Amino acid sequence: MVPVQKYILIIILALILFAYPLWAQSNSTSTLLQNVYSWNVPDSLHKQTQKSPIHNPKKAIWLSAAIPGAGQIYNKKYWKVPIVLGGLGTCIYFVRSNNISYQDYRKALLQRNDPLQINPDKYADVYSTDQLLTLQDQFHQNRDMFIMVTALVYALNIVDALVDAHLYTFDVSDDLSLQWQPVYAPSFENKYTAGLKLSLKFK
């Protein structure tokens, strides 16, 4: 594989793997730093609010399957649309470019091996037959690999829309308060041990 394509593939995978935790961290950092000794913990219970509109996960799936990124728009995760479209567009570009090179070298190889062909192929003075075969196989493998990566990005686009649609009506308000403080309590044999006390309060 051409080194540039390796770097592009690494960038695509890095965007997929790291976009989500970085975004989540940016949203939670300000809350965690509000107080040194106390902080708010999002409620993990599946609780729908009365004001939340009806949100259909099946609709998000069909939208993302029909038009990649449409499910993210439906879930109002607009910042994810460039990631989805950029990843798919890059993969499709490399599928196409590798297929063009593969077909080109394949055509030259068939022309060279045809005993009825009088005119030499355009790579006659550039590559040997073995080199043409190697180049054909290389771009063939690259094309197939990027087809699989494209399918993976497409599937992740659908799965992401489904997950966000299910989480759309979750109540993530600051309705729980967790406080902690150091304690010095007696233990066995009348010895004292330092520890940590946690207090969970519902608002």
Q: Domain residue spans in the chain?
A: 3-35+52-173
Task: Give me the pLDDT at residue 32, please.
Answer: 38
Q: What is the pLDDT of residue 22?
A: 41
Beta strands in the chain (DSSP E): 38-40, 176-186, 192-202
Residue whose token pair is 């030259």: 108
- pLDDT on residue 25: 43
Residues of the chain short of pLDDT 70, as ranges, are 1-53, 171-181, 183-203
Cβ burial 16-48 (10 Å sphere, 16+ → b, else e) = beeeeeeeeeeeeeeeeeeeeeebbeeeeeeee
Amino acid identity for residue 150 in this structure = T
Please indicate, yes or no, whether the overall pTM of this predicted structure exceeds 0.75. Answer: no
Q: What is the DSSP letter of 116?
A: T
**pLDDT tens figures, 75-124:** 999 999 999 999 999 999 999 999 999 999 999 999 888 888 778 888 88
